[in-house]
Amino acid sequence: MKGISHPALDDISLENVCQALTDPVRIEIVGRLAKMSEATCSVLNAGRPKSSMSHHYRVLRDSGLICTRTRGTTHFNALRRAELDARFPGLLDALLKAMAVDADGEAKYEASPRSSTIPI
């Protein structure tokens, strides 16, 4: 594990933040981090290939959305809440709320076995 670098506050751009949230996998990571405050990569990987996930962490780091603390060989990821809020006030909160809304909408189609469990 070589250089894990994070952009400075002023180098965080809206364009990059949006770019980072373009992918459902990364949206999921951010959404989960919002509830866990800190999590290792392996916890978030959910069985997906390491190299793919490592790519997503990098995109999220480069965008300024998350920071990674290294402890031994394991990496702890967390949202850069306070910093992001300093740079773009209110944005992260609005994004997190939007993620919750969006997840609700999709849940209607995936879960909710009601229609099949109540035949007559």
Partner DNA sequence: TCTATTGTTCGACTACAAGCGTACAATGGT
Partner DNA sequence: ACCATTGTACGCTTGTAGTCGAACAATAGA
Q: Does 13 bind a second copy (CB under 8 A)?
A: yes
- Residue from 27, 34, 41, 96 in contact with DNA (CB under 7 A): 41
> Which is nearest to 41 in space by CA: 4, 83, 8?
4
Q: In what order do the strands lie in the sheet containing 66-71?
A: 39-40, 74-79, 66-71
105: partner contacted, choices a second copy, DNA, none (Cβ within 5-8 A by kind): a second copy
* Min CB(32)–DNA separation in Å: 14
Amino acid identity for residue 18 in this structure: C
- Residue from 6, 13, 25, 27 in contact with DNA (CB under 7 A): 25
- Residue from 1, 82, 101, 120 in contact with a second copy (CB under 8 A): 101
Q: How many residues does the chain have?
A: 120
Q: Which stretch binds DNA (CB under 7 A): 7-15, 36-44, 83-91, 99-107?
A: 36-44
Quote the radius of gyration of the chain (alpha carbons, Å). Answer: 16
Task: Please give the Cα distance from 50 to 64 (Å, whole number).
Answer: 21
- Residue from 37, 40, 46, 98 in contact with DNA (CB under 7 A): 40
